[in-house]
């Protein structure tokens, strides 16, 4: 078995990762499996999910793919039921699926607003609600919501995205209060600028400009985010709940 990026023991635990077909979610799923968890890999692209499951199995880990649209209530409830039927429990939920539809406010179409809120915020709500039931039954859970630095501060051209990610933070804090007594922690991770498909289209000049705004003077990698998720998913993080951990090379504290 390949060593995980951060040493966390998750043997016999079951994790579900949304948006596992690419980018941050893919890396998080891979790393959770390397820690010993059985991983439910959720996204819409079946082929990419199958490739991930194959890689995890080749490394000696356990995983299964579910093709799901995170905005669809029936599909979300069904996948959580199937995960529990298959592995008898659900310990870790990573709400990572997310999209951008960037444009300045005078030009923003209803659809651009609605799609971003539906995927980033409603998707997080639907999966959290569904996962809470099996977690409450076993009185254990780790819910990790992927927010963004754009949810901590504003970003021109991202009012829809920023609102969705700030919403994820408010949601995280409230649900953390509701579930703390059941030994379920709920935290958010706020990545800065991470190199994935989501940021690939922005071009080299823009990336050089971004680097100037990052105290660490480099763009983030998917492993930087995955390491933080592993820590929050671990039994060691049991007294941390309702928090937002920025993984941004210092971007949110100033330059
Ligand atoms: N990259 C960054 O710089 C950055 C910074 C801050 C926060 N984030 C956040 O981190 C998360 C992952 O970002 P990323 O950069 O890895 O993005 P990405 O490479 O574009 O991947 C997005 C993932 O979300 C899935 N997804 C999108 N809509 C979905 C839907 N309706 N149902 C199911 N799955 C859906 C995609 O899978 P399918 O297309 O297969 O469905 C894909 O696996 C997002 O929440 C993003 O907002 C990223």
Q: How far is the CA of 43 from the centre of ligand 1 (A)?
A: 9
pLDDT in tens, the chain (255 residues): 799 999 999 999 999 999 999 999 999 999 999 999 999 999 999 999 999 999 999 999 999 999 999 999 999 999 999 999 999 999 999 999 999 999 999 999 999 999 999 999 999 999 999 999 999 999 999 999 999 999 999 999 999 999 999 999 999 999 999 999 999 999 999 999 999 999 988 888 888 998 999 999 999 999 999 999 999 999 999 999 999 999 999 999 987
- pTM of the predicted model, to two decimals? 0.98
Check if the beta carbon of residue 172 is closer than 8 Å to that of residue 232: no
Nearby residues of 137 by Cβ (< 8 Å), 6 or more positions away: none
pLDDT at 203 (0 to 100): 83
Q: Report which secondary-structure segment, H or E, holds 184.
A: strand 184-191
Strand partners, 41: 17, 65
Grouping H, G, I as helix, E, B as strand and the rest as coil, residue 10 is: coil
Grouping H, G, I as helix, E, B as strand and the rest as coil, residue 215 is: coil
How far, in Å, CA of 128 to CA of 77, rounded? 10
pLDDT at 31 (0 to 100): 98
pLDDT at 255 (0 to 100): 73
How far, in Å, CA of 145 to CA of 158, rounded? 19
Domains and CATH numbers, the chain: 14-247 (3.40.50.720)
Check if the beta carbon of residue 49 is closer than 8 Å to that of residue 73: no
Tokens of 14: 């079951």
pLDDT at 72 (0 to 100): 99
Tokens of 253: 């504290």
pLDDT digits (tens, 9 = 90+) for 178-191: 999 999 999 999 99
Token pair 């080749």 is at which residue?
Answer: 58
Tokens of 22: 């690419």
Atom in ligand 1 nearest the alpha carbon of residue 23: 16
Choice from 25, 100, 118, 247 to test ligand 1 binding pocket (greatest atom count within 8 A of CB): 25
Tell me if 162 CB under 6 Å of ligand 1.
no
Choice from 16, 21, 24, 211 to test ligand 1 binding pocket (greatest atom count within 8 A of CB): 24
Check if the beta carbon of residue 173 is closer than 8 Å to that of residue 187: no
Q: How far is the CA of 159 from the centre of ligand 1 (A)?
A: 17
Tokens of 9: 């023991």
pLDDT at 204 (0 to 100): 84
């Amino acid at each position: 078995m390949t060593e995980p990026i951060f040493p966390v023991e998750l043997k016999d635990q079951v994790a579900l990762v949304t948006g596992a077909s690419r980018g941050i979610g893919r890396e998080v799923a891979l790393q959770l499996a390397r820690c010993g968890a059985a991983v439910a890999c959720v996204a819409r692209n079946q082929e990419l999910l199958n490739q991930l499951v194959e890689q995890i199995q080749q490394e000696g880990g356990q995983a299964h793919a579910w093709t799901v649209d995170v905005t669809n209530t029936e599909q979300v409830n069904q996948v959580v039921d199937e995960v529990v039927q298959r592995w008898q429990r659900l310990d870790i939920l990573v709400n990572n699926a997310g999209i951008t539809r960037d444009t300045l406010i005078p030009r923003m179409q209803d659809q651009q607003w609605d799609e971003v809120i539906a995927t980033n915020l409603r998707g997080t709500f639907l999966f959290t609600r569904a996962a809470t039931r099996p977690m409450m039954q076993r009185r254990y859970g780790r819910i990790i919501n992927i927010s963004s630095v754009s949810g901590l501060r504003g970003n021109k051209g991202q009012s829809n995205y920023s609102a969705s990610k700030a919403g994820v933070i408010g949601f995280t804090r409230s649900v953390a209060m509701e579930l703390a007594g059941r030994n379920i922690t709920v935290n958010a991770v706020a990545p800065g600028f991470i190199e994935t498909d989501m940021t690939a289209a922005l071009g080299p000049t823009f990336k050089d400009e971004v680097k100037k705004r990052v105290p660490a003077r480099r763009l983030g990698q998917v492993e930087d985010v995955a390491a933080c998720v592993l820590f929050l998913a671990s039994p060691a993080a049991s007294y941390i709940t309702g928090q937002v951990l920025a993984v941004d090379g210092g971007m949110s504290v100033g330059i």
